[in-house]
Amino acid sequence: MPFLRSTAALAALFALPVAAAAQDFNAAPPNAPDQTPAFEGQTRAPVLADDIALETTVITDGLEHPWGMAQLPDGGWLVTERPGRLRIVSAEGALSDPIGGLPEISAGGQGGLLDVLIAPDFAETRRLWISYAAPAEGGNHTAVATATLSQDNATLENVQPIFAQVPVYDGDKHFGSRLLLDGQGNLFVTLGERSDVPIRDSAQQDDNHLGKLLRIDAMTGEPAEGNPDLGLPEIWAKGLRNVQAAALDGSGQLWTIEHGPKGGDELNRIEAGKNYGWPVITYGVSYQDEPINDGITQADGMEQPLYYWDPVIAPSGMVFYRGEMFPEWQGQILTGAMQGDHGLVRLQLDGDRVGGEGRHLQGIGRVRDVDLAADGAVMLLTDKPDGELVRVTRE
């Protein structure tokens, strides 16, 4: 049933004073105090002054660990739930029954039904893509399928798996996996390195998909034309940990934000054929406070992050703001935070450097995905057993 709930009364609580916010996130001690940034401004950018009062409206709740979303032409939203359900939330907040026809999904730990993406011509073709953890002999792996949504919105039709990560691994962590169209008929797919020691070291090897970013034909899954030579022909970049935030800027350039270990979340501007270092270099330590491998932060042939967080924000979901509702944010990065009640994180770019950071809606909970509505409102998914689709507007 429609659930629209305005939380204007809580907006003042969420819009913390700038001075308090500065103390909250730039004064916190790092997890890796002996590490130093490679250049000025690589971490702990100045806090952005912002006096915009925000209002949040819960469009619907009752979503079980929602993970990804895509806006439909009629103003509704396709939303994935990690346990293996795809639903539609209408513009008025009505929550549909689960959509049928999904492929078999391995739901457990961090795995399940993950991202969803619709074609630019969805109104005519009904074309969409989903990423998910798929069961396989010996464990599971991240997979991608394309399908069409039936005219009555009840089921997926013509389901065609187009990609499955190799190798299969018996684990429940670090599946990735954001999906983005590159505007040339190809699909970017972000993939995790499955977390465990020693398999995470496979992110540096060229015979597998672990810790890689792929560029494949969106319809067939074949390697995209013009990919670099990084071993397997579908690989676009390597040395990534677990990318769950990715977006194209106004020029079509791909950017990602990945989860670090304890410290070391990274913003990267992805270039074809580049090695982003994990787990050889990282601005973080293990969850046991031990160095990762040799504990170094720089190495020849490996890219430095444009920005990193220590302590982490646990980033998931990402957009470059383009809209009329918040002209002050035009061109800035918005990403969700799932750690430490940091809410919605905003980065102001100065070229390819971060010139300032702001945090909004602190206390809203784990923000798993971020998107923009057609009118420029910011849409959030909160990741919890009773998750919400939230609309953020000016008060």
pLDDT above 70: residue 261 = yes
pLDDT in tens, 246-259: 999 999 999 999 99
What mean pLDDT is predicted for residues 98-109?
A: 98
Q: Which of 65, 174, 209, 259 is catalytic?
A: 174
Q: What's the pLDDT score for residue 49?
A: 80
Specify whether 174 is catalytic. Answer: yes
pLDDT in tens, 331-360: 999 999 999 889 999 999 999 999 999 999
Q: Tell me the C-alpha distance between 167 and 145, whole Å.
A: 18
pTM of the model: 0.94
pLDDT above 50: residue 305 = yes
Q: What's the pLDDT score for residue 234?
A: 98
What mean pLDDT is predicted for residues 24-53?
A: 92
pLDDT above 60: residue 62 = yes
pLDDT in tens, 363-384: 999 999 999 999 999 999 999 9
Quick one: 319 exposed, middle or buried, by C-beta within 10 A (0-12, 13-18, 19+)? buried
Look at 15 and 280; give whichever has higher pLDDT: 280
The percentage of the chain sitting over the pLDDT mark of 90, rounded to a whole number, equals 91
Q: What confidence tier does 4 reach under pLDDT thresholds 50, 70, 90?
A: low
What mean pLDDT is predicted for residues 263-272?
A: 98
| Lowest-confidence region among 12-21, 114-123, 290-299, 358-367 | 12-21
Q: What's the pLDDT score for residue 17?
A: 36
Q: What's the pLDDT score for residue 341?
A: 86
pLDDT in tens, 313-334: 999 999 999 999 999 999 999 9
pLDDT above 50: residue 148 = yes
Mode of pairing for the β-strands spanning 77-81 and 66-71? antiparallel
What mean pLDDT is predicted for residues 57-72?
A: 98
Q: What's the pLDDT score for residue 5?
A: 53
Q: Tell me the C-alpha distance between 348 and 163, whole Å.
A: 35
pLDDT in tens, 17-33: 333 444 478 899 999 99
Q: What's the pLDDT score for residue 380?
A: 98
Q: What is the mean pLDDT of the chain?
A: 94
Q: Tell me the C-alpha distance between 239 and 245, whole Å.
A: 16
pLDDT in tens, 177-204: 999 999 999 999 999 999 999 999 999 9
Peptide bond into 311 cis (omega under 30): yes
Q: What's the pLDDT score for residue 51?
A: 79
Query: Which tokens in the block code for residue 76?
Result: 């509704």
Q: What's the pLDDT score for residue 9?
A: 33
